[in-house]
Amino acid sequence: MLFSKLCQVATYTSLLLIGSSVTNAAQATQAQLANQGRTVHMGIILFPGFEPLDIIGPLEFIFSVSEKFPIKLYMIADQVGAVSAVPPGRAHMAGPQFLATHTFQNTPKLNILLKPGGMGDISMVEAGNTVIENFIKQRYDELDYLMSVCTGSVSLARAGVLKGKRATTNKRLYNWVTSNGPDANWVPSARWVEDGKVWTSSGVAAGMDMTYAFLKMFYGDTVNENFNTLEYAPLLDSRTDPFAIVHNVTGRDDGNLTSCVTPAGF
């Protein structure tokens, strides 16, 4: 609790003192400069019943950053065309349709692959549909980074790429997801988890906080201005996970509720 309060007072004091004149003075590393200069091929998997914010949370910030650094986007599904967020069997729901631009067959080599979650994950597992798991398994070695949001980690687990790795997932469906990946080291209290090239986030909105940490690592502090333009104050401490409490996840750690949410760079 003490750190939480100190953090908040300190950051807001700096806001009031410095205002918009603050600059992100930290130098980019050589690796970050190289990332800024190379074209990143980014794939996002679409499937019926995807969770819209699992995709657009991360993609909003990637879209913004793509104004200054080269990123090519591949929206990947069974076939090119519209894919609905409305889950199979729930036609009464009011969900958007996103356009798939590539298929599991014709997507070129990727640097980063994101697997979102959604109620469609449950439908696919129940139907024994392994097309996404197979795609992840096929592409794993070529990727620099593999990311999932929410229940999206179920596909990573079933593809076998979480074996021995630390990972997290949606906290309401924690038991269901983790039962699909008994060989992973699941972290009950985590907004997101990074283990080598695999980044997994907790449910839905957590994907935005993971994306801030990821883009800051990948491109450097220059991404702070994107998050401030988009008026998103990211959670900075990946261990802060009040939703593990809300959903009463077994084995949770209640010691890290810092909730330090402030504009990026302050």
User: Can you give the binding site for its own copies, defined by CB under 8 A?
Assistant: 1, 4-5, 8-9, 12, 15-16, 19-22, 42, 51-53, 55-57, 59-60, 62-63, 66-67, 70-73, 75, 82, 85, 90, 92-99, 101, 170-172, 202-206, 208, 228-233, 242-243, 245-248, 254, 257, 259, 261-263, 266
| Residue with Cβ nearer its own copies (198 or 208) | 208
Q: Extract the tokens encoding 83.
A: 């894919």
* CA separation for the pair 116, 255 (Å, rounded): 28
* CA separation for the pair 42, 220 (Å, rounded): 18
Burial of residue 21 (number of CB atoms within 10 Å: 0-12, 13-18, 19+): exposed
Instruction: Identify whether the C-beta of residue 262 lies closer than 8 Å to the C-beta of residue 8.
Output: yes
Smallest distance, Å, CB 225 to its own copies?
Answer: 9
Alpha helices per DSSP H over the chain:
2-18, 30-37, 52-65, 119-127, 131-139, 153-159, 174-179, 206-219, 224-229, 242-246
| Residue with Cβ nearer its own copies (17 or 127) | 17
Smallest distance, Å, CB 188 to its own copies?
Answer: 13
Smallest distance, Å, CB 65 to its own copies?
Answer: 9
* CA separation for the pair 53, 252 (Å, rounded): 25
| Residue with Cβ nearer its own copies (89 or 106) | 89
| Residue with Cβ nearer its own copies (64 or 129) | 64
Instruction: Give me the residues paired with residue 83 across strands.
Output: 98
Smallest distance, Å, CB 164 to its own copies?
Answer: 26
| Residue with Cβ nearer its own copies (16 or 127) | 16
| Residue with Cβ nearer its own copies (94 or 127) | 94
Smallest distance, Å, CB 221 to its own copies?
Answer: 15
Smallest distance, Å, CB 228 to its own copies?
Answer: 5
Q: Which of 204, 177, 191, 183 is nearest to 244 (CA)?
A: 191
Instruction: Identify whether the C-beta of residue 209 lies closer than 8 Å to the C-beta of residue 223.
Output: no
